[in-house]
Amino acid sequence: MKMRKVHPGKLAVLVFAVFAVLVPTPAGSNLPFSWKNPNYTGGGFKNILVLAMNGQASSRADFEDRMVARLTKPGVQATPSYSLLPRPKATPINMDDLRWQVQQNKFDAIIVSRIVKVDKSVKYV
């Protein structure tokens, strides 16, 4: 069974949409970079896999849960990768397992994120 390739323009629209929806910005600030393919004419995505690449399992799961909550709406289903591909600690993903899950669940988009820094701080005023 061959994997379906996502058109680069469709992927760019998805990446832009994720940053626009998920990156919290303080009032008056802008995203440092955003781009949308002006030639893209396809529709939206209906079945999305959310995949965080690194970090502790609990941080990955928390991040994926928050992404899924933001993306899910009527007509759009998002699934956290940890529910399909358990990875304790920082174990690598088995690419054969990932391909199988994508095919079996008929995902039409995958959002892949790499956690660079987790900042847990509390400010008391």
Strand order across the 109-113 sheet: 77-80, 47-52, 109-113
Q: What pLDDT shows up at residue 50?
A: 92
pLDDT digit string, tens, across residues 71-116: 999 999 999 998 998 877 767 788 899 899 999 999 988 888 876 6
- What size, in residues, is the chain? 125
Residue 3 Cα distances to 102, 113, 120, angstroms: 8, 21, 39
pLDDT score recorded for residue 23: 43
pLDDT at 33: 54
The listed range with the strongest mean pLDDT (20-29, 50-59, 63-72) is 63-72
The answer to whether residue 10 scores a pLDDT higher than 70 is no
Q: Is the pTM of this model over 0.85?
A: no
